[in-house]
A = this chain, B = another copy of it.
Amino acid sequence: MNIRVKAIVLIFSGLCSLGSLNGQNPMGVTHSGQSTSQAPFPLTQYTELKNPAPTDGESWKDLSGTRCAWGNTYTRYKKEVNPRLNQKKIDIKGWKGERVAAQLVVSSAIDLDNVSVEIAPLTHSSGKQSISADRILKGFVRYVMTDELNKNQKGTCGPRPDLSQFDSTLVADPIDHLAAALPIKAKTSQGYWIRVWIPEDAISGNYSSDVLIKNNHEVIGKLKLTVQVQQRTLPQPDQWAFHLDLWQNPFAVARYHQVPLWSEEHFRILKTELQPYAEAGGKVITVPIMHHPWGGQTYDPYETMITWVRKIDGSWWFDYTIFDKWVEFMMDMGVKKEIGCYSMIPWKLSFLYFDQATNSMKELKSKPGEQAYHDLWLSMLKDFAAHLKSKGWFDITHIAMDERPMPDMLKALKIIREADPNFKVSLAGSLHKELSDELNDYCIAIAEKFSEEMKAKRKAEGKITTYYTCCAESHPNTYTFSNPAEGAWIAWYAAKENLDGYLRWALNSWTIEPLLDSRFYTWGAGDTYLLYPGGRTCLRFENLVAGIQAYEKIRILKTELQTQNKTATLRKLERVLESFDELRLLKTPANVVVEKANLFINGL
């Protein structure tokens, strides 16, 4: 598609420089002129950007009224297209404790001013039990602006100062559970998501319900939903093994919702915004321990959670008030396996601190190998270790590095060991065999592969081994223009590779108007966030969670099959997993691979 959204791009580009204002949007109004970030929280109504694509007349020519039908959970149904769906009844399968989902689509040739969806209680065929409404998440699949891969079709790395150079389209992604009803304009389609979190104590069997689509009080569609609850039980997310490490950005939340950082209001909102991460079994608490570990690469840069003060005698004083509050908050949310502390080797080797003598912020510019760097970090890490021990967190805390030149990493490691030989260390970077023994949590890009020996040794030593994707990958990925099934594929791949999990550098590093426009001034749209404001999840995130559930199910099934010596089935399972090969993704889309694999394990 070649339609450009130049006006928006221009405004957007102009606002990019706001990043330097500590991510503050001084006007409280976003570039579309809407107050999407205004109180009261959460905002329940907002207007999407104008669709740059024209109506697909051909698809609408046979429809005079409104059509409601089931689609699937992998497809971003286009707003301007009538997908001509027919399915009126859907069966979805799941284990007890599992989240299963379906997507219906309303396509209307006429204007509808107030469409809502009602689900009658999901009742067991025996009539004896039902799944209550609080186990159901339902919401409109909203349209957000996206862009595309780099022109060479190789990932999305690099700056995009002029977004008009990229095709900009509306795509279905955010699941808006907050809008009770929406208008649907003539000749547009609207997806609707229904997710059922099967209770762990449900009895197995079929639970059915009517799904009513209404315009005001008039029923304009009626669909049948059946959830087939299987015998097996999926444990709750806090029991999951999958090591999910999605970097949280509380600074984006404070800016977007215009609340003071670390205020009660901020934490109240964070509880909503980060709930999906906790419910996805998020394992790692992201902690910036110094100013701007990644420079200003996100719209809202990461500020230090540890206060650095240089006293007039030149000694350092560190305060952990924010750190403690944040860590305790995340632990209360259920995220408590690991604390990842960034970064001893930040992208810009500059350390901002409050200088008491001059009553001002100062920068210490120093790099590994220099005395000042050594003294600073030795002092910091010793103090930090003592604090962590006093809190009982030392054993879960990792001094975390991104990929940096090897000599720098080795020098940093030496200081860490000097401060406390038992400090845990993590790295998200390249594969360096010589570092593996040093790294308690080691994450490499999908293109690189740990040897089976390394993985086995690491597992035996209780070390975590994962992989990541970022702007380098075209597929699999979680851009807003990615095939949503790639989200699921990502977790399946970890199962195939016998990895512990997955890392992504951005859970919610929002753009200026994340609900409206997922494009950023670097990388592909959606690269910087997987969750939308208001605790809204999305096709990408729900597919990722589905994949993680599959990972957990495979883990359980493997144990079960091994115990029962069902080697033939085990081999079949391994063959299914073999199909998760990123090099084949261009030929066979992720949804095909994932659907087939799901069919297999749901049939076991």
Contacts and interface: CB of A to CB of B under 8 A. Distances in A.
Interface stretch (A177-185, A198-206, A318-326): A318-326
A517 interface: no
Nearest to A357: B261
A390 interface: no
Nearest to A303: B359
A377 interface: no
A231 interface: no
Interface in A344-360: 352, 354, 356-360
A50 interface: no
B22 A358 contact: yes
Interface stretch (A109-117, A304-312, A444-452): A304-312
Which of A321, A325, A352 is packed against the most chain B CB atoms within 10 Å?
A321
A312 B325 CA distance: 10
A592 interface: no
Contacts of A358: 22, 261, 303
Contacts of A304: 359
Contacts of A354: 309, 354, 359
Contacts of A311: 321
Nearest to A311: B321
A261 B310 CA distance: 12
Given A261-B312, A312-B261, A312-B262, A359 B291 contact: yes
A359 B288 CA distance: 12
A260 interface: yes
26 contacts: A22-B358, A22-B360, A260-B357, A261-B312, A261-B357, A261-B358, A262-B312, A263-B312, A263-B314, A263-B357, A291-B359, A303-B358, A303-B359, A304-B359, A307-B356, A307-B359, A309-B354, A312-B325, A319-B356, A322-B357, A352-B359, A354-B354, A354-B359, A359-B361, A360-B361, A361-B361
A21 to B, nearest CB: 11
Given A261-B357, A359-B307, A361-B361, A321 B312 contact: yes
A535 to B, nearest CB: 23
A312 B322 CA distance: 7
Interface in A225-279: 260-263
A259 to B, nearest CB: 11
What is the total number of copies of this protein in its complex? 2
A309 B319 CA distance: 12
A289 B532 CA distance: 46
Interface in A1-51: 22
A314 B354 CA distance: 18
Contacts of A321: 311-312, 356
Interface string A357-395: 111110000000000000000000000000000000000
A277 B311 CA distance: 29
A264 to B, nearest CB: 9
Query: How many interface residues does chain A have, given as a range?
Result: 20 to 34
Contacts of A260: 357
Nearest to A291: B359
Nearest to A353: B359
A554 to B, nearest CB: 43
Contacts of A309: 354
A260 B261 CA distance: 33
Given A22-B358, A260-B357, A312-B325, 20 more contacts: A22-B360, A261-B358, A262-B312, A262-B357, A263-B314, A263-B357, A291-B359, A303-B358, A307-B356, A307-B359, A309-B354, A311-B321, A312-B321, A312-B322, A319-B356, A321-B356, A322-B356, A354-B359, A359-B361, A360-B361
Contacts of A360: 22, 361
Contacts of A325: 312
Which of A319, A356, A361 is packed against the most chain B CB atoms within 10 Å?
A356
A263 to B, nearest CB: 8
A5 B311 CA distance: 44
A361 B311 CA distance: 16
Contacts of A312: 261-263, 321-322, 325
Interface in A408-438: none
Contacts of A291: 359
Contacts of A352: 359
A320 to B, nearest CB: 11
A392 B208 CA distance: 80
A289 B506 CA distance: 43
A23 B329 CA distance: 43
A358 to B, nearest CB: 6
Interface string A320-337: 011001000000000000
A321 B312 CA distance: 8
A312 B306 CA distance: 12
6 tightest Cβ-Cβ pairs between the two chains A and B? A262-B312, A261-B357, A354-B354, A262-B357, A303-B359, A304-B359
A122 B252 CA distance: 78
Contacts of A319: 356
A309 B261 CA distance: 15
A317 to B, nearest CB: 9
Contacts of A303: 358-359
A303 B355 CA distance: 12
